[in-house]
Amino acid sequence: MPLDIVVGAQWGDEGKGRMVDLFAGKASIVARFSGGDNAGHTVTVGDQIFKLHLVPSGLARPHTLGILGNGVVVNPATLLHEIDTLRQGGVTVNPDRLKISPAAHLITPAHRALDAAQEASRGQASLGTTLRGIGPAYMDKTARQGIRAAEMLDEEAFADRVSAHVEAANRLLTGIYGTEPLDASRVASEYLDYSRQLKPYIGDTVGLVAEALQSEKTVLAEGAQGTLLDLDHGTYPFVTSSNPTAAGALIGLGVGPRWVREVIGVAKAFQTRVGEGGFPTELDGEMAIRLRGTGENPWDEFGTTTGRARRVGWLDLVLLRYAVRVNGLTHLTLTKLDILSGIKTLKLCVAYERDGRSSPDLALGTYEMGHYRPVYEDLPGWEQDIQDARVWNDLPPQAQQYVRRIEALAGVKVGWISVGPERDQMVQLVSVE
């Protein structure tokens, strides 16, 4: 019966794919519920590595049904490309294994062009979006003029709709932003072609999820981005245009709260952020390079979607405690603890100071994040490599102390700790049912 939800507890890129992979082993459905191809996840199947942005990573497991829920914005070109890539890698992807909600909205080249034009027009105040057209697609959705996946079922009307949508966007692109218009008939025929290929994948995702839950099967909601990028609960305006928090899973899949069992928040053992916006614990200099890596390894802190170097800093417990609250987390997963090995003194941000007053809690939206000064607590680091740790007692006492302190400050138990990039490099404190 249960719905388990995996969400990012920071600004995205926490390593959610790892947890989804672990949980997907017991799930019959793995469903994306928000965002689009702005996300990036790495999926390992046997000895093959796939870099994906849109399809649920659980599809790598042969027994799961992947769902793109109504809360997702779907770029058909990306989706078809990923289906192709997975197939070439020997993964079976067909309409029996992947379903798109008829209510999911489509991203078009007009949305991408508007994203780029809006970012350029913001100048210094740009948000640092992924330029995937996410914001404009959700704008069309809330303006009740978006194109939904169901519209692909009626070919003739669909081509006209896409053409009219591009022409409307062209008026904005040329009239407001002074950029080049798109070729509406070319986009329409491209989308007609996509619709022919994607039609068989459109299905009653709400019904499929309900049936699975009623027949005691596990459904896994796979979060994208992270809590602090949530449109309502994140560090607005430097957020994405959807709700990647736990409640977003309910809206984005069409399921009620009574089915929820676990809400697992994934957080790195330190803090990272891509794009603009305040970051109280941000580091530069040697420690930043130490935490970020140089980009030589796939797990270094460079974006999967954009390749941008991520900003890095000490773990921020004010923000983590906030993420525990807004998601109602039942457990926390701590990733990349191994990266901290060899650092003599570790710092945890336990409060924010402003105007001589310090507070352990954040009333988000009260002030721009950049105005807070972090208050740190120092903890001793550990020297030894911990990549071979598999059980709690394999971790050095200082690493155990670091984890226990996080639990105490965040107010939630840590269930899993990742200590290396490989699937099995994990200290599992809670078993997965």
Judged by the rule CB under 6 A, the positions of this chain that interact with ligand IMP are: 11-13, 38-40, 127-130, 132, 134-135, 224-225, 229, 238, 240-241, 274-275
Smallest gap from residue 279 Cβ to ligand IMP (A): 11
Please say if 105 is a catalytic residue: no
Classify strands 65-68 and 29-32 as parallel, antiparallel or unpaired.
parallel
Whose Cβ is closer to ligand IMP: residue 114's or residue 212's? 114
Please say if 53 is a catalytic residue: no
Whose Cβ is closer to ligand IMP: residue 240's or residue 327's? 240
Among 13, 115, 140, 316, the one annotated catalytic: 13
Residue type, 348: L
Q: How far apart are CA 245 and CA 263, in angstroms?
A: 10
User: End-to-end CA distance of the chain, in Å?
Assistant: 12
Cβ atoms of 55 and 201 closer than 8 Å: no
Residue 320, CB half-sphere, CA atoms under 13 Å: how many?
A: 33
Q: How far apart are CA 41 and CA 192, in angstroms?
A: 28
The tokens describing 347, both together, are 């710092």
Which stretch of DSSP H or E encloses residue 139? helix 134-142
Q: How far apart are CA 430 and CA 40, in angstroms?
A: 26
Q: How far apart are CA 205 and CA 386, in angstroms?
A: 42
Whose Cβ is closer to ligand IMP: residue 212's or residue 269's? 269
Smallest gap from residue 224 Cβ to ligand IMP (A): 6
Smallest gap from residue 393 Cβ to ligand IMP (A): 34
Whose Cβ is closer to ligand IMP: residue 64's or residue 75's? 75
Q: How far apart are CA 257 and CA 122, in angstroms?
A: 39
Q: How far apart are CA 318 and CA 334, in angstroms?
A: 16
Among 4, 21, 37, 41, the one annotated catalytic: 41
Whose Cβ is closer to ligand IMP: residue 66's or residue 226's? 226
Q: How far apart are CA 275 and CA 37, in angstroms?
A: 16
Catalytic residue ranges: 13, 41
